[in-house]
Amino acid sequence: RERFRASRPEYLEKQPQGSQTTDVTPPTFYDAADAARRRRRRMFYGLGILVAIFLIAGGTYGGTRWYRESRTVQAHHVKLSVSGPERVVSGEDARVQLHIENSSRVPWENVAVELKLPQGFTPKTTSPLPAGSPGGGSASALPTEGTLVWALGTLPPRASEDITVTGRLLGEEGTASLFNANVTLTPGNRPGTTVEKSAFGSVALAGIPVELSIDVPRAAASGTPLTVKVIYQNRTTSDLTGARLVVETPSGFSVSSTTPPVPGRELSWDLPPLPPQQQGEVAIAGTIEGPPESAKPFTAKIGFVTPDGRFVAQRTVQRSLAIERAAFSLTQVLNNEKDILKVAPGSEVN
């Protein structure tokens, strides 16, 4: 009993003798495992609340974005492209295509497309016809410069429209012609707003495969009559049409005749159609004058004429003739009139 009393807890020692009850609260013991379980539950509850918040926020943002995407038209909804051949030979036809696509969920109204034509491009056919063009689609009904405009009207959601323009492209070798396109539209659910987008495409120009040469003596004495020949050959696989040949003569050269004859004072010929691998020539007869040991250059150019009358050269060659000293000269006097004859080396004198 003494041992039992000695082992009694402290809170029982305060209890009076013979009492069966006590008002002293027994101590509580700390359970580490249960506390850990409670902490894990609180952490899981917190993570669940955060995930729910993120889900609600993401759903709200996605729903708002979907609603805006389905009710508005922005620049990225308008798909406009200009495509064509990477390179064409100057003077040949080029086919340019415009593609317009409505990638929004809103129908478009008042859709208008503009194509600014580069210098040197002459349209022949378009599909569909531009606004204001008479029926028939003939080349004479299309403008030769400026801008083509198409009024497409309405374009439903997820629909597209293609426009094709074919025409002759002229330009200098090594340059590029730019085709600038622009589309404007009105969203069907917002009549007071306008959406616009631009695009461009380029076509590089290659020179026409035509050989050009000048046949002229390497040297001649001043006052010597001579004939200069310009020879051109078509190296393409199709007829060479609409070409012009221009010849520039040096100072001191007097033209007496040309074959074929020129319509004006300038040495310029509008060449007839030339079949593939065929050649033609022009001849220029005249007399050369100049100081000894001077050079007289002859220049020939072949190219095309743009609708505005500008000549665009595609090939240019130049050959020079040297004025040499005459071996001797003969002077004849008749009735006090002097006539001097200059004779080149190797020439016969009658």
Where does the pLDDT of residue 230 fall: very low under 50, low under 70, confident under 90, or very high at 90 and above?
Answer: very high
Place of tokens 């004058």: 289
Where does the pLDDT of residue 20 fall: very low under 50, low under 70, confident under 90, or very high at 90 and above?
Answer: low
201 pLDDT more than 80: yes
Residue 233 in tokens: 């050959």
Question: Judging by beta carbons within 10 Å of its beta carbon (0-12, 13-18, 19+), is residue 205 exposed, middle or buried?
Answer: buried
Q: What is the pTM of this model?
A: 0.60
197 pLDDT more than 80: yes
Q: How far is CA 114 from the centre of its chain?
A: 15
Q: In the prediction, which pLDDT does 90 show?
A: 82
> Does residue 267 or residue 45 have the better pLDDT?
267
Q: What is the mean pLDDT of the chain?
A: 82
Whether the ω angle into residue 260 lies within 30 degrees of 0, i.e. cis, is yes
Q: In the prediction, which pLDDT does 97 show?
A: 96
Where does the pLDDT of residue 165 fall: very low under 50, low under 70, confident under 90, or very high at 90 and above?
Answer: very high
Helix (H) or strand (E) holding 281: strand 279-288
Q: What is the DSSP letter of 245?
A: E
Q: In the prediction, which pLDDT does 280 show?
A: 94
Q: In the prediction, which pLDDT does 61 show?
A: 77
Where does the pLDDT of residue 333 fall: very low under 50, low under 70, confident under 90, or very high at 90 and above?
Answer: low
Q: How far is CA 274 from the centre of its chain?
A: 31
Asked if 69 and 106 touch (Cβ cutoff 8 Å), the reply is no
Q: In the prediction, which pLDDT does 31 show?
A: 63
Q: In the prediction, which pLDDT does 282 show?
A: 96
Which range, of 25-39, 53-67, 130-144, averages the lowest pLDDT?
Answer: 130-144
Q: In the prediction, which pLDDT does 347 show?
A: 60
Q: In the prediction, which pLDDT does 137 show?
A: 46
Residue 106 φ then ψ, to 5°: -115, 135
pLDDT tens track for 300-324: 999 888 777 888 888 899 999 999 8
Which range, of 12-16, 146-150, 296-300, averages the lowest pLDDT?
Answer: 12-16
Spatial separation of the C-alpha atoms in residues 64 and 323, rounded to whole Å? 87
